[in-house]
């Protein structure tokens, strides 16, 4: 079985009722499922038994494994009551950032500083270092009129485009965290066959591929007339020979390097066309959206050998009757030829 024992056979969640100010233990039907994706709120779903306590919208819900290991802390936003059971959907505190719109102007700030400012402006709990890692790259200037979460997303995107460094935001049971992909890779685990997975799918899809990027920047801005535009074109000649010239435009701001932005986008496209989905994988509570995982397994019919680094785009954890497994959707970071995970070939790419 591709299941990881987690202790007690009983799965329970804790419910905080604002009306009483107390925590209550609640029995759960079947399983507790937690879905985690990069840079958005985690979502918990389960069915809670309705005894003298009924789950309501706005109640705080907490899921704790044996030994006091907190896995989720959030607020119930949806309920469905049917007979003796109440289905609930809860989101962690990042959900607030996706609903509230604002205006924000900043200059020469890192994505880390943006995350810190947004968290403080919305009274979100965070613990400074090591929970907020320095992203280093300073974003020249931004004028934003959107949601708080979109502001963070843009700062993360600009850091990736200009510095080729990927960072991920998440809520760790009430504390905002922000770490690099490389840091997550150092805490990664191998997903292997031999009973650790029940099914997988390996897809290659080039329908959205592009073979060159044109970076467009405005120059000679003035109060009179329109600004001139400068175009910087970067090509992937290998892909162009196969697919022809397929152009993608990207706007760059003052202070950004157009060649670097274009090249980093091209570096990504050949990887995002490859994806891996794994069902019934042995559970690991450290896996979340953005986590790099090392895949190393044969298919049951030995038709494929999947070996390399993949980025988790979505993970759904299932906690049920004392066991934990998970379903993953991943994108490619790097394929590896060497079977020995101690080999330099397995080193995580900078």
CATH number of the domain enclosing 29: 2.40.10
Domain holding 18, by residue range, is: 4-92
| pLDDT band with cut points at 50, 70 and 90 for residue 1 | very low
Prediction pTM value = 0.87
CA distances from 157 to 42, 57, 139, 230 (A): 20, 34, 11, 22
Taking 3-state DSSP, the helix, strand and coil percentages for the chain, each rounded to the nearest 5, stand at 20, 45, 35
Shared-domain flag, residues 329 and 298: yes
Residues 316-327 pLDDT 10s: 999 987 789 999
CATH number of the domain enclosing 342: 2.40.30
Q: Could you give the percent of the chain with pLDDT greater than 90?
A: 51
What's the domain count of the chain?
Answer: 4
Residues 41-83 pLDDT 10s: 999 999 999 887 888 999 999 998 876 678 999 999 999 999 9
CATH number of the domain enclosing 147: 3.55.50
The DSSP string of 226-260 is PPEEEEEEEE-HHHHHHH---EEEEEE-TTS-HHH
């Amino acid at each position: 079985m591709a299941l990881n024992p987690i202790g007690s056979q009983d799965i329970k969640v804790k419910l905080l009722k604002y009306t009483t100010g107390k925590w209550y233990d609640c029995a759960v039907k079947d399983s507790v499922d937690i879905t985690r994706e990069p840079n958005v709120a985690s979502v918990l779903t389960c069915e809670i038994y309705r005894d003298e306590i009924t789950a309501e919208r706005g109640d705080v819900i907490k899921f704790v494994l044996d030994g006091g290991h907190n896995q989720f802390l959030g607020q119930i936003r949806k309920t469905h009551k049917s007979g003796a059971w109440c289905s609930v959907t809860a989101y962690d505190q990042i959900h607030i950032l996706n609903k509230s719109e604002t205006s924000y102007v900043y200059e020469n700030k890192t994505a880390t500083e943006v995350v810190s400012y947004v968290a403080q402006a919305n009274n979100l709990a965070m613990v400074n270092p090591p929970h907020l890692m320095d992203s280093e790259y300073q974003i020249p200037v931004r004028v934003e009129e959107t949601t708080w979460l979109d502001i963070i997303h843009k700062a993360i995107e600009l850091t990736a485009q200009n510095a080729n460094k990927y960072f991920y935001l998440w809520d760790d049971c009430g504390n905002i965290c922000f770490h690099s992909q490389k840091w997550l890779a150092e805490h990664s685990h191998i997903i292997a066959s031999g009973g650790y997975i029940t099914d997988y799918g390996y897809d290659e899809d080039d329908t959205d591929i592009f073979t060159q990027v044109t970076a467009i920047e405005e120059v000679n801005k003035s109060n009179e007339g329109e600004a001139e535009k400068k175009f910087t074109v970067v090509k992937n000649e290998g892909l162009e020979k196969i697919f022809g010239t397929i152009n993608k435009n990207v706007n760059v701001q003052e202070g950004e390097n157009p060649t670097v932005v274009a090249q980093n986008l091209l570096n990504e496209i050949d990887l995002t066309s490859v994806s891996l989905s794994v069902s019934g994988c042995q559970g690991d509570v450290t896996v979340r959206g953005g986590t790099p995982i090392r895949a190393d397994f044969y298919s049951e019919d030995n038709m494929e050998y999947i070996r390399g680094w993949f980025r988790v785009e979505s993970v759904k954890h299932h906690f049920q009757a004392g066991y934990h497994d998970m379903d993953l959707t991943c994108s490619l970071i790097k394929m590896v030829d060497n079977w020995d995970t101690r080999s330099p070939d397995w080193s995580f790419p900078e």
